[in-house]
Amino acid sequence: MKINSRYQQAAKEARWALGLTILYVIGWCVCAYLPKESHGPLGFPLWFELACFYLPILFIVVAYWVIKIVYQDIDLEHQPESKEAQK
């Protein structure tokens, strides 16, 4: 992989990571502040279950699939091109 392609891939992965982080914070705020005062299926307050149990489990699954689909295993060592390849 050429160095320019590596930078493009790294930038793409960074954008995905930032986007997922922002989405998680928004999801946490929605789960923590919007539900009414009631108990969830586990006996805890609903806001606590949503924000601290269900949302993290959901994002673990989302992160797993994003890593499988978007992220690529690239060599970080710079390999100089041979003189024949540069011509």
pTM confidence score: 0.78
User: 19, 52, 47: which is closest to 31 by C-alpha?
Assistant: 47
pLDDT at 28 over 60: yes
Handedness of CA 46, 47, 48, 52 (dihedral sign): positive
Give the total number of structural domains in the chain: 1
Residue 39 three-state SS: strand
Q: Which domain holds residue 24?
A: 7-70
- Residue at 78: amino acid letter: H
Judge whether 87 lies within some domain: no
Q: Is 49 within 8 Å of 28 (Cβ atoms)? A: no
Return phi, psi of residue 41, to 5°.
-65, -25
pLDDT digits (tens, 9 = 90+) for 41-82: 999 999 999 999 999 999 999 999 999 999 988 877 777 666
pLDDT digits (tens, 9 = 90+) for 11-22: 999 999 999 999
